[in-house]
């Protein structure tokens, strides 16, 4: 009996909404092998995931982390025996300041195990890289400082998993963001993303959602440059500088 409700998105691509922060975990699989993308917020959640992939008759080949925010990362603690891929800057950021996120969470009453150590992804991705799951190619595209210091986008056939570069049903989170970098990343995605977009939070969507984000971010850049009105949908006071 599955604890999570998995929704098929495309052939060999399924997603589930996790209770913590309503984050979308994604599993891509083929021929008895699987990759887990963003394994959730706690070691327990990671373990659930691992068990459910195994119960589906699949072997976990590795984990991919879209960016260094706790809700996407801390479940990686349950996958220390397989390679885990992330943008180079994400790995640096977790090593440098991951414990700050642990402290923040505990202050907010979130329960993490005693002695919890921030899991650090093991394989830095500094340039576009292709890995395999079963007979399928999975393309990893490190887009750089956008929503976070190191966002990584994953493409498999017609599906693009974009982390928090796109959020559906909630405004974009700008606390660690680079506005120009995020705008450039969205422009790049408009050229490179498949027709199906899986956001970090919210419903599976398409290029209409991507275009809505692009319009918002271009409007924010224009406002910043003094050539446009205050943009709708973005709280620029969140920006780090």
Query: With binding defined as CB under 5 A, does residue 155 bind Zn ion?
Result: no
From 33, 164, 178, 209, residue interacting with Zn ion (rule: CB under 5 A): 164
Q: Rounded to the nearest whole angstrom, what is the least distance from the CB of residue 21 to Zn ion in the complex?
A: 9
Give CA–CA dist 25/174, Å, rounded: 21
User: How many CB atoms are closer than 10 A to CB 136?
Assistant: 18
Quick one: 14 or 147, whose CB is closer to Zn ion?
147
Query: With binding defined as CB under 5 A, does residue 87 bind Zn ion?
Result: no
Q: Rounded to the nearest whole angstrom, what is the least distance from the CB of residue 201 to Zn ion in the complex?
A: 8
* Stretch of residues binding Zn ion (CB under 5 A), selected from 56-64, 81-89, 106-114, 161-169: 161-169
Token match 């992939």: residue? 53
Quick one: 30 or 164, whose CB is closer to Zn ion?
164
Q: Rounded to the nearest whole angstrom, what is the least distance from the CB of residue 95 to Zn ion in the complex?
A: 18
Quick one: 69 or 87, whose CB is closer to Zn ion?
69
Q: Rounded to the nearest whole angstrom, what is the least distance from the CB of residue 114 to Zn ion in the complex?
A: 26
Quick one: 58 or 70, whose CB is closer to Zn ion?
70
- State which of positions 52-81 bind Zn ion (CB under 5 A): 69
Binding site for Zn ion (CB under 5 A): 69, 164
């Amino acid at each position: 009996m599955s604890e999570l409700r998995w929704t098929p998105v495309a052939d060999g691509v399924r997603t589930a909404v996790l209770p913590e922060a309503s984050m979308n975990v994604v599993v891509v699989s083929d021929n008895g092998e699987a990759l887990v993308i963003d394994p959730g917020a706690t070691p327990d959640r990671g373990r659930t995931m691992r068990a459910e992939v195994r119960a589906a008759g699949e072997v976990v080949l590795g984990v991919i982390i879209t960016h260094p925010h706790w809700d996407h990362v801390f479940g990686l603690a349950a996958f220390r025996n397989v390679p885990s891929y992330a943008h180079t800057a994400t790995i640096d950021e977790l090593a440098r300041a991951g414990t700050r996120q642990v402290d923040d969470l505990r202050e907010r009453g979130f329960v993490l195990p005693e002695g919890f150590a921030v899991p650090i992804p093991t394989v830095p991705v500094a340039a576009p890289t292709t890995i395999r799951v079963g007979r399928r190619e999975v393309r990893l595209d490190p887009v750089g400082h956008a929503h976070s210091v190191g966002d990584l986008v994953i493409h498999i056939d017609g599906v693009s998993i974009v982390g928090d570069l796109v959020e559906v049903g909630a405004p974009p989170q700008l606390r660690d963001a680079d506005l120009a970098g995020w705008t450039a990343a969205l422009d790049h995605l408009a050229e490179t993303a498949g027709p199906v977009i899986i956001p970090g939070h919210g419903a599976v969507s398409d290029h209409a959602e991507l275009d809505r984000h692009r319009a918002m971010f271009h409007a924010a850049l224009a406002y910043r440059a003094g050539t446009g009105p205050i943009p709708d949908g973005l709280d620029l006071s969140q920006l780090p500088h």
